Amino acid sequence: MAAASSAATACFLSPPPPPRPRHFLRHLARAAATPPRPLALPASPPRLRDLADPAEAARRLLASAAGSLVVALASAALILGDPGGASAFVVATPRKLQPDELATVRLFKDNTPSVVYITNLAVRQDAFTLDVLEVPQGSGSGFVWDKIGHIVTNFHVIRGASDLRVTLADQTVYEAQVVGFDQDKDVAVLSIQAPKDKLRPLPVGVSADLLVGQKVYAIGNPFGLDHTLTTGVISGLRREISSAATGRPIQDVIQTDAAINPGNSGGPLLDSAGNLIGVNTAIYSPSGASSGVGFSIPVDTVGGIVDQLIQFGKVTRPILGIKFAPDQSVEQLGLSGVLVLDAPPNGPAGKAGLQSTKRDAYGRLILGDIITSVNGTKVGNGSDLYRILDQCKVGETVTVEVLRGDQKEKIAVVLEPKPDET
């Protein structure tokens, strides 16, 4: 009724039609006096009763009925104001993907069940009610390492957590326990009690034979968006970054331009075959978002650390037992090496006789020993020293060459583990 009323109103509001011209009436009279011409109609199709073959008659009847039904439904959709419904009756051709697209889709589908979402919970006290609550203070990614329930991620993802929760691809949530962690290499191992049929470990590859330019794929949970795939290539190899926890350098890091954003930390970096080649750990970006420079810890390094954490709950790494000056301070003195600030008497270097930096009775600074080489390998800064020690074992005796005043001396030092790892 409303539509009719509006239509009527429109008719009343529209101006009256203009009067017909006289020549129009003459043409109309001439056309009425002209006899009509016969129309040539196309031959009508044979009627169903004229067909001798009953099967052919049935086929045409079904085709006609189906066509009428489609036309009727599409017309009804258009009349009701739903053009999208009419297009639903159009049969679309199957989507055709290129071979490389199919491979990417298959890789994501096969490896997504192995990637998990990790929530870092912290205990907070409400300022008004004084109630103790667990609130999320961070999140990250991880992946299934084995069927036992071990999950590998970054240490900075779980740092400071009072409780950890792991969400699998099917959205089931499990409480996680920390098996062990290595702050120096930013690797941590968790454990969950989940059925074996829900745990799909990633196939472990090799990172020693990687090449710049080969395709890589990163799966993770950036900004809390679960299971996101980004692709790229290896931009560089044998990079070096510093651990966010201890500042100790991490060598042989993989650089990639695959987008790695906050929340991707701890997620896997895969090659085109779906094998694990690295663990995404950091990005280089002034803004904190992906700028095309991401870093992953190579799987050859991660594998050895994870095995030690699962077996012993810790990583036994040798130390000299010294505190050394920043590299800039040594450069300002015009020297090259590692300046020993402190060598505790109960530490490996102190037991061997390395001298610390100190002040005399008049307050003048007396420089300690400057380490210039270890086992014949030159030491130019702190990163060089860490790199050499990473190749050594606990209990091994190394030859440390130091500059003491104007004299060079060689001192044998027996390496020991960290005090908190004994």
Question: β-strand 173-182 against 163-167: which pairing, if any?
Answer: antiparallel
Q: Enumerate residues 6+ apart whose C-beta is below 8 A from 192.
A: 149, 151, 166, 174, 175, 176, 177
Residue appearing with tokens 């012993």: 312
**Distance (Å, rounded) from C-alpha 51 to C-alpha 328?**
101
What whole-number distance in Å separates Cα of residue 75 and Cα of residue 80?
Answer: 9
Task: Pick the catalytic residue from 186, 257, 369, 384.
Answer: 186
Chain length of the chain: 422
CA dihedral 103, 106, 108, 111 (to 10 degrees): -120
CA angle 302, 303, 304 (to 5 degrees): 95
Closest CA to 177 of 196, 195, 158: 158
Quote the Cα angle for 188-194-197, to 5°: 115
Beta carbons within 8 Å of 178's beta carbon, 6+ residues apart: 158, 164, 188, 189, 190, 191
What residues have CB less than 8 Å from 177, skipping those under 6 apart? Answer: 164, 190, 191, 192
Q: Would you state the structure tokens that stand for residue 229, as one six-digit string?
A: 């795939």
To the query of whether residue 184 is one of the catalytic residues in this protein, the response is no
> Residues 114, 141, 150, 156: which is the catalytic one?
156
Tokens of 326: 């920043």
Instruction: Tell me whether residue 150 is one of the annotated catalytic residues.
Output: no
C-alpha 172/C-alpha 279 separation (Å) is: 23
One of 114, 265, 296, 373 is an active-site residue; which one?
Answer: 265
Is 186 a catalytic site residue?
yes
> Measuring CA to CA, which residue among 274, 262, 298 is closest to residue 215?
274
Q: Which positions are annotated as active-site residues?
A: 156, 186, 265
